Structure 1
Amino acid sequence: MTDVLAASPRTVNLDLAWQLNPQVALRPEPFGALLYHFGTRKLSFLKNTAIVEIVRSLPDHADARSALAAGGVSEEAMPRYADALAVLARSNMIIPSPVQEGPA
């Protein structure tokens, strides 16, 4: 099984595809967004509009690294954003995307 939280539990594997958990609702707010997990009833706040857009765009990219790059995150800032994604992964707000298989 692939370790979704890479080298340390504080970071997420940026080379995997991620998505918002289907049990999570994302509600935009002026400060960023609210995430509500209907399964665990956990509420999370995203106080950075950039990370909100990145989380929304995760399914559109082959991996988290591509989503971060497309969101304008520099190489120097990637560890900070990876930490933020790791918090969301640990709380089950984002999950690894199912493997997409091509036509047979």
Structure 2
Amino acid sequence: MSFDPDQPYRLSEQVAVRPEPFGALLYHFGTRKLSFLKDKTLLRIVESLGSQPSAWVAVLAAGVEEDSVEQYLTAIRVLCDSKMVSPADEVMAQT
């Protein structure tokens, strides 16, 4: 599966988020992987993914400057590859 920033995404239902002063820790109960979100903007984006029509819109809604959008989309792509974040339709099919 390839990441498409124009599609909706959600935090996986098997992921717990623990906010930290630096950003957050994400723990996936299925894969037992731990991910670090190293800034609070990325945490806001990840938490808002399920309520936005696309990953791209979630990044812009968080107030990310145009020259940094690609950096945040890359972070979401990495989270998607590690199954921390899933396409919204895939999450809905699991329920």
Q: CA deviation at 1:77?
A: 1.0
Structure label with greater radius of gyration: 1
Q: Which residue of 2 aligns with 1:38?
A: 29
Indicate which of 6, 19, 29 corresponds to 1:15. 6
Q: State the alpha-carbon separation in 1 of the partners of residues 57 and 23 from structure 2.
A: 21
* Larger helix percent: 2
SS in 2 for 1:44: strand
Normalising by structure 2, we get a TM-score of 0.89
The runs of 4+ residues in structure 1 deviating greater than 3 Å are none
Q: Which residue of 2 aligns with 1:88?
A: 79
Taking only the aligned residue pairs, the percentage that are identical comes to 48
Q: Which residue of 2 aligns with 1:98?
A: 89
Q: Which runs of 5+ in 2 are unaligned?
A: 91-95
**May I ask how many residue pairs the two structures share in their alignment?**
90
Deviations 1:19-50 (A, max 9, x none): 00000001101111000000010001101100
1:5-84 matches, within 5 Å, as 5=3, 13-84=4-75
Q: CA deviation at 1:98?
A: 1.6
Amino acid aligned to 1:96: P
